[in-house]
């Protein structure tokens, strides 16, 4: 265990971990005083998979969509992050 210190003003933090669908990315920036979060960005792996799914369904008929969709297994809630 370690003490949790207040970050420096305008400090930036980045973390990338491997989830079961792919890479999960977090990016944080502290505020002017360092004790609040000024900006936060989270990228779920499904965010990039949605673009691939769009390319995969071009030219297919509507009944093929469920098969294409489940092949990528995107996270609907993760895309809204």
- Mind listing the pLDDT tens digit for each residue in 23-76? 889 999 998 888 888 999 988 888 878 788 888 888 888 888 888 888 877 777
| One domain, residues 26 and 57 | no
Same domain, 61 and 74: yes
- In angstroms, the CA 58 to CA 52 distance is 10
Eight-class DSSP state of 10: T
Looking at the fold, whether 51 and 69 belong to one and the same domain comes out as yes
Quote the number of domains for the chain. Answer: 2
Confidence of residue 78 (pLDDT cuts 50, 70, 90): low
Residues 2 and 29 both lie in one domain: yes
Range of the domain at 8: 1-43
CB 24 within 8 A of CB 41: no
Examine the domain organization and report whether 10 and 39 are in the same domain.
yes
Distance CA 62, CA 1 (A): 54
């Amino acid at each position: 265990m370690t003490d949790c210190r207040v970050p420096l003003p305008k400090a930036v933090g980045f973390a990338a971990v491997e989830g079961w669908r792919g890479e999960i990315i977090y990016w944080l920036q502290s505020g002017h005083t360092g004790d609040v979060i000024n900006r936060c960005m989270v990228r779920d792996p499904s965010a990039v998979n949605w673009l691939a799914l769009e390319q995969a369904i071009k030219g297919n008929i509507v009944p093929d969509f469920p098969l294409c969709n489940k092949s990528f297994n995107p996270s609907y809630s993760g895309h809204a992050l």
